[in-house]
Amino acid sequence: MDYYLYKNNKVPISDEKYDVIIVGGGTAGSIAAIASAREGAKTLIIEKYGFLGGSSTAAQVTPMMHIKINGNPASSIDKEIRKRLMKYGYGAEDRNGNNGWFNPEMMKFVLEEMLLEYNGSILYDTFFLGSIVEDYTIKGVLVQNKSGISAIFGKVIIDCTGDADVAFSAGVPCFIGDEKTGKNQAISLRFMVGNIDLRKLQSFLKDLGQNWGLDYPLIETAMVWNSNFPLESVFKKGLDDKVINYEDGVYFQAFSIPGMPGAMSFNCPEIPAIKDVLNAKEISYSYQKGREMIQRLYKFLKKYIPGFEESYILSVAPMIGVRESRRIKGKYILNIDDYNKRSKFDDAIAKTAYPVDVHGMKTELKILPIQNNEYFEIPFRCLVPLNIKGLLVAGRCISSTFIAQSSIRIQPTCRATGEAAGIAAAYSIQKGIKVSKIEGSEIRKIMRDYGYDI
């Protein structure tokens, strides 16, 4: 057996050699792997959980947000995922044209099913340890699982960790947090509640004055202090009665779930006072604090919100919901001017009109709200890091400024960047060119040929 020397220890090298290795099987990574395998590349995805999906499954981020463009255009694999979920009865479309409502448990099955159809390989319960870099080129990755530590080599590596772990380990320059303060966006620990009488809840919200989000069985509600939400009067009662704390109502949001009658997914609580989402102690505290807040919120729901009387906590997400952490410095840095000017690019591989959406802090930058039929694009160059060859990055950690990232971090956009990265990785191998030398316009053409209106 061949060995790789790691920290003065001989680490076995995997006998399997891959064309493309994707680290992180989440929102972008699962799609990158499907795209790569679809192009015929021998593809491996490395995932720390026992299932694919990341934020959409482990963090229970459902439904997907609408990108705010007429027709809600999606990349080809994104379209197929939505189609399959609808077919199986685990997806839905609301009256506003958002067909991104989905069941997070069944998403695990659909993503795995699609990857295996294209003969992709998966290593579950496997943790990334470090990048193998020679002469400023990434050659492979070091991982750890039940088989121990091993080195796995591939021709192209795609970082879909969300935190740019592979890129950072390889030596790619990275940004983190707000450029002035270094602080990250707020994070949330989501949970699901079952056995809710949704008809009763619908009637209560309607009587309370809510005139949106009540298209049964797709029920949605929300509350933020001092923002004129109808639910605020009920939250104030809970606060006065000391059933909840003020922090519990800083951000509250809930959605029903297709294929799970009587269940809702809660996009809350937001964890207060977290500044560094790459700090292990702060993240560990966030899980503890989140469960404490969930208990209060659940008691409040049962006592004050009709429809929750016989409900129960169905699950608490095993993964904290991180909106933003590291971002690579790539060939192009998407910025607020691109947002304000609705920038278009020859090498665009995604487009969106989703608004700037920063949680937990305010921005002083001038932001021009996107109007009807306006949108901006993301160039392929944002996926190509500086300094290190053989590497692509997809998902929320692509090259962008803090404010621009808050607009492009949603799942449909991350999926598009993942698909572009997977196609590009396979394309580079087929054409015998380095990924850093690929003309992004070629990847755009392939995505268009698959049916993405970009």
Q: What is the pLDDT of residues 187-206, one digit of tens each?
A: 999 999 999 999 999 999 99
Decide if pLDDT at 270 tops 70.
yes
From 2, 38, 1, select the one nearest 20 (Cα to Cα).
38
> pLDDT averaged over the chain?
97
First to last CA, the chain: 47
Tell me the H-state helices in 191-279.
Answer: 198-208, 232-240
**Rounded average pLDDT over 353-359:** 96
Decide if pLDDT at 77 tops 80.
yes
Question: Which pLDDT does position 7 carry in this prediction?
Answer: 79
Decide if pLDDT at 361 tops 90.
no
Q: What is the pLDDT of residues 159-176, one digit of tens each?
A: 999 999 999 999 999 999
User: What is the three-class DSSP state of 285?
Assistant: helix
Neighbouring residues of 166: CB distance < 8 A, sequence distance ≥ 6:
23, 128, 131, 138, 141, 157, 159, 391, 393
Decide if pLDDT at 59 tops 70.
yes
Residue with tokens 């699609």: 114
Decide if pLDDT at 265 tops 70.
yes
Tell me the H-state helices in 374-454.
Answer: 402-408, 411-431, 440-449
User: What is the three-class DSSP state of 152?
Assistant: strand
Q: How confident is the model at residue 8 (pLDDT cuts 50, 70, 90)?
A: confident
Q: How confident is the model at residue 363 (pLDDT cuts 50, 70, 90)?
A: confident
Burial string for 316-355 (b: 16+ CB within 10 Å, else e) reads ebebbbbbbbbbbbbbbbbbbebbbeebebebbbbbbbbe
Decide if pLDDT at 351 tops 90.
yes
Question: Which pLDDT does position 362 carry in this prediction?
Answer: 85
Q: What is the pLDDT of residues 31-53, one digit of tens each?
A: 999 999 999 999 999 999 999 99
**Rounded average pLDDT over 381-406:** 98
Q: Which H or E run contains 436? A: none
Q: How confident is the model at residue 120 (pLDDT cuts 50, 70, 90)?
A: very high
Decide if pLDDT at 292 tops 80.
yes
Instruction: For each of the domains in the chain, give its residue range(s) and CATH number, in order of start.
Output: 3-180+325-449 (3.50.50.60), 191-316 (no CATH)
Question: Which pLDDT does position 233 carry in this prediction?
Answer: 98
Output DSSP code: residue 381: G
Strand partners, 259: none
d(CA 171, CA 383): 15
Question: Which pLDDT does position 1 carry in this prediction?
Answer: 61
**Does the pTM exceed 0.95?**
yes
Number of Cβ atoms within 10 Å of the Cβ of 433: 13
Question: Which pLDDT does position 5 carry in this prediction?
Answer: 84
Question: Which pLDDT does position 53 carry in this prediction?
Answer: 98
Residue predicted with more confidence, 355 or 365: 355
Question: Which pLDDT does position 332 carry in this prediction?
Answer: 98
Strand partners, 305: none
